[in-house]
Chain A
Amino acid sequence: MSTMLDQQGRAAAVLRRFSRTTTAMLLLVVVAGAVALEVASSGSFFEGSSVRVFLQYLATPILIGLAQMVALCVGQLNLAVGALGGFTACLTGVLMADHGVPAVVAVGAGLVTATAVGLVTGLAIVATRINGFIVTLATMTILLGAQYRLVGTRTVDGYSATLRDLGSAAPLDIPLVFVTAIGAAVLLGAVMYRTVAGRRLLAAGGNPLAARLSGISTDRQIVAAHTLSGLLVGVAAVTATASLPGVNRSVGGDWLLPSFAAPIIGGVALTGGSIAVFGTVLAAFVTRLIDAARAQFSLDPSWVNLLIGLVVLGTVAGGHLHQTRLARTTAPSPQPGGAR
């Protein structure tokens, strides 16, 4: 009897602790937002087709958020997320449409290119010791130019029907591209939380000096993080190519801000060393919900930017208040009955 009570108590404590985390709050926001939308759309939001559309356009925000998160976890930034994604998407599209390359090869080439660009970025940062912000700003500019040179002002849409079918395929109303994004998130989570390589990344981001003293090459971790970030952007580009009606030079143009919004709302620290795969995915859900609500009430698209900006600012300020309150409540506990 007492053990059962014990267990209940412990479960309650775990629940209470969980209820104070960012993840729980985000989960609550997602559920509340979805219910509110369901009510507002008088019951059509949970219908198969609208769920499918909702999830279809959720894949890219999740993947670019994760790509940014990987860079953030070693204390780096990746400003080139959007440009690299757009470039890769255009490259894949042009290879298929203009050169008749089969879809599998084109997708492979896109993924390899994105990963290689990430690798080169990482190597450039480590070799020149220039701030990663500036290096990725430069690669962003270069890639934007390359993307424009690749497609110019046209829209490439004559590419493989197989890829397009895969992009719009949705068994049980769950689109394959969304499954891909979730799969990538699960894999990334497994790597980050369960493998030595993931631990090394986190250690290098959390405390570079300590990591170096314990035999971890921070340079190698920076290169690894940028490479992984490039790969994830490549996957995002492939999902975008598969689900968009065509690729042109505007693909990726609006990825930069959401890529930062998802990890930041999800609870990832910009200083490095922390990671929140589930939180990032949930934050991408939140931003997508805002977009869906915008469409529901047929508002100006600018509302989305305004709201996301305010949400990030609110998260930042709220997180700070939470921290100070935590500090105030936990500070006296090490020495109870002390001078205070």
Chain B
Amino acid sequence: MTTSVSPPDTVPKERTAGHRMPFWVNQRLGLLVLVIALSVLFGVVRPAFLDQRLVLFPLLRDVATLTVVALAQMAALSVGHMNLAVGRMAAFGAMFAGIGYDKLHLPMQAGLLLCLAAGAAIGAVTGWLIARTGVSSFVVTLATDFALLGLVSLMYSALTEDAAFTTRPAGVDALRSYSLADICAGPVCGSPAVPQLAQFTVLAMLGLGFLYGGTRVGRELLLTGANPAAAELSGIPTGRRVLLAHTLSGLLAALAGFMAAAGTGTFRASIGDDFMLPSFLGAVLGGTLLTGGVVSVLGTLLGTALVGVIRKGLDLLGVGLESLNIYLGCILLLALSADRIRTVVSYRKVVRST
């Protein structure tokens, strides 16, 4: 599901069968092997790791939420931009869902729609500012992050008693605790490890996969990221594509905020506080380029899953919370360095064989 607008020199390499990149360059395959190998390793060392209800279910719920966060980052990265405000956009969206449930007594679906609309709106405002002023997305989203950080906590302290919306309509609790085991087709039930919350992740992945892989707009987004000048010259309204990418990013961030709120059961201002690092980890480990033009929807899921498995596994092995961050940082650096070495080596091989 990788979609890329490659620079001209790599396109023939991928197309012609004669001198293809070797298979081990495929980042997603490596990630998949790594995720499975690590899961097996942790499962052997600590059999509790494979406990479906107590370990795998929360793990997959976290992975499902963080994948959507990483997809939100990926949408911004696809046009070569960043969204430093993913976490705060998630909090912003979740706040609207909370207001909808608490003050307007909306049903679950309506609150979700309100949440998504709020996220898309704030993303669109950010995108419009970036496209209109031409200022780096880093600055604009950083400033948006500041502003939303203040705004969201002000709204919570103005609207609630104890800084959280606790009213939950029917259905939210089900989302939190139901797994596929609660869906039965006759006598056959699903696995209790897969949370129902994952349906949103699957939908988001399918949607983005179709957008980037199968539509003209998706190609235009990638081209805008790969080479804005060329995109402009080939008649692509780059400003509008940037706006679209940031709107998508805000929409997905809000969805992640809703998922995080549903997962913990309360709508509070601290939702999304720790979203920034995972958003970049998942997307970048999955093969999405920071410079734009290359995205990988499946890779994003695998990258997030890898981080989640490592986190959970180290946790079960008794590595303290304080050291987890040290390992995660090292893993990020190692993975990227390894990737870099792999690319350089395989590139040399390809060059030699031609």
- 20 pairs of residues in contact across A and B, judged by CB atoms under 8 Å: A124-B333, A134-B284, A134-B332, A135-B333, A138-B329, A140-B329, A142-B325, A145-B323, A145-B327, A145-B328, A149-B322, A149-B326, A257-B146, A261-B143, A302-B154, A305-B149, A308-B150, A309-B143, A313-B144, A319-B135
Q: Which residues of B contact A (CB under 8 A)?
A: 82, 129, 132-136, 138-140, 142-151, 153-154, 157, 277, 280, 284, 290-291, 320-330, 332-333, 336-337, 340
Contact A316 B329 (CB under 8 A): no
Q: Within the complex, which residue of A141, A146, A148, A320 is in contact with B134, where a contact is CB–CB below 8 Å?
A: A320
Q: Is the C-beta of A203 less than 8 angstroms from some C-beta in chain B?
A: no
In the assembled complex, the CB of A199 is this many whole angstroms from the nearest CB of chain B, namely 24
- 5 more A-B contacts (CB under 8 A) besides A305-B150, A310-B147? A124-B333, A145-B322, A306-B151, A312-B146, A313-B129
Chain B residues lying within 8 Å of A303, measured Cβ to Cβ, are: 150, 154
In the assembled complex, the CB of B261 is this many whole angstroms from the nearest CB of chain A, namely 19
Beyond A145-B326, A302-B149, A303-B154, whether A137 also contacts B280 by CB under 8 A is yes
Interface of B is mostly: helix
Beyond A302-B149, A306-B151, A316-B133, whether A130 also contacts B337 by CB under 8 A is yes
CA distance A124 to B330 in the complex (A): 12
Contact A302 B329 (CB under 8 A): no
Q: Is the C-beta of A100 less than 8 angstroms from some C-beta in chain B?
A: no
Query: 6 shortest A-B CB distances, which residue pairs?
Result: A306-B150, A309-B147, A309-B146, A145-B325, A305-B150, A141-B329
Residue of A nearest to B155 (CB): A302
Chain B residues lying within 8 Å of A130, measured Cβ to Cβ, are: 333, 336-337, 340
Q: Is the C-beta of A20 less than 8 angstroms from some C-beta in chain B?
A: no
CA distance A130 to B334 in the complex (A): 11
In the assembled complex, the CB of A299 is this many whole angstroms from the nearest CB of chain B, namely 9
Chain B residues lying within 8 Å of A300, measured Cβ to Cβ, are: 153-154, 157
CA distance A310 to B322 in the complex (A): 34
Chain B residues lying within 8 Å of A140, measured Cβ to Cβ, are: 329
Contact B133 A309 (CB under 8 A): no
In the assembled complex, the CB of A300 is this many whole angstroms from the nearest CB of chain B, namely 6
CA distance A303 to B151 in the complex (A): 8
CA distance A140 to B276 in the complex (A): 12
Chain A residues lying within 8 Å of B142, measured Cβ to Cβ, are: 257, 260, 312
Within A285-334, which residues are at the interface with B (CB < 8 Å)?
A: 300, 302-310, 312-313, 316-317, 319-320
Beyond A141-B325, A142-B326, A145-B325, whether A261 also contacts B146 by CB under 8 A is yes
CA distance A320 to B277 in the complex (A): 30
Q: Is the C-beta of A92 less than 8 angstroms from some C-beta in chain B?
A: no
Question: Which residue among A131, A145, A146 has the maximum number of chain B CB atoms within 10 Å of its CB?
Answer: A145
Q: Within the complex, which residue of A145, A152, A261, A320 is in contact with B133, where a contact is CB–CB below 8 Å?
A: A320
Chain A residues lying within 8 Å of B133, measured Cβ to Cβ, are: 316-317, 320
Contact A306 B154 (CB under 8 A): yes
Contact A313 B143 (CB under 8 A): yes
Q: Is the C-beta of A77 less than 8 angstroms from some C-beta in chain B?
A: yes
In the assembled complex, the CB of B116 is this many whole angstroms from the nearest CB of chain A, namely 23
In the assembled complex, the CB of B160 is this many whole angstroms from the nearest CB of chain A, namely 13
Question: Which residue among A77, A270, A309, A312 has the maximum number of chain B CB atoms within 10 Å of its CB?
Answer: A309
Interface of A is mostly: helix
Residue of A nearest to B130 (CB): A316
CA distance A306 to B135 in the complex (A): 20
CA distance A307 to B147 in the complex (A): 7
Q: Within the complex, which residue of A138, A316, A317 is in contact with B332, where a contact is CB–CB below 8 Å?
A: A138
In the assembled complex, the CB of A281 is this many whole angstroms from the nearest CB of chain B, namely 20
Q: Is the C-beta of A42 less than 8 angstroms from some C-beta in chain B?
A: no
CA distance A90 to B129 in the complex (A): 39
Residue of A nearest to B277 (CB): A141
Q: Is the C-beta of A128 less than 8 angstroms from some C-beta in chain B?
A: yes
Contact A309 B325 (CB under 8 A): no
Residue of B nearest to A254 (CB): B149
CA distance A335 to B140 in the complex (A): 36
Contact B329 A270 (CB under 8 A): no
Beyond A305-B147, A316-B133, A316-B135, whether A144 also contacts B325 by CB under 8 A is yes
Contact B324 A302 (CB under 8 A): no
In the assembled complex, the CB of A112 is this many whole angstroms from the nearest CB of chain B, namely 21
Beyond A142-B326, A145-B329, A316-B139, whether A134 also contacts B145 by CB under 8 A is no
Question: Which residue among A142, A146, A320 has the maximum number of chain B CB atoms within 10 Å of its CB?
Answer: A142
Question: Which residue among B82, B136, B329, B340 has the maximum number of chain A CB atoms within 10 Å of its CB?
Answer: B329
Chain A residues lying within 8 Å of B320, measured Cβ to Cβ, are: 149
CA distance A141 to B332 in the complex (A): 10
Q: Within the complex, which residue of B82, B136, B150, B333 is in contact with A307, where a contact is CB–CB below 8 Å?
A: B150
CA distance A316 to B144 in the complex (A): 12
CA distance A307 to B143 in the complex (A): 10
Residue of A nearest to B331 (CB): A138
Interface string of A90-111 (1 = CB under 8 A from B): 0000000000000000000000
Chain A residues lying within 8 Å of B332, measured Cβ to Cβ, are: 134, 137-138, 141
Contact B321 A317 (CB under 8 A): no
In the assembled complex, the CB of B130 is this many whole angstroms from the nearest CB of chain A, namely 9
Within A251-272, which residues are at the interface with B (CB < 8 Å)?
A: 257, 260-261, 264, 270-271
Chain A residues lying within 8 Å of B157, measured Cβ to Cβ, are: 300, 302
Contact B324 A145 (CB under 8 A): yes
CA distance A144 to B273 in the complex (A): 15
In the assembled complex, the CB of A65 is this many whole angstroms from the nearest CB of chain B, namely 14
Within A141-161, which residues are at the interface with B (CB < 8 Å)?
A: 141-146, 148-149, 152
CA distance A205 to B102 in the complex (A): 51
Contact B284 A309 (CB under 8 A): no
In the assembled complex, the CB of B154 is this many whole angstroms from the nearest CB of chain A, namely 5
Chain B residues lying within 8 Å of A143, measured Cβ to Cβ, are: 329
CA distance A260 to B145 in the complex (A): 12
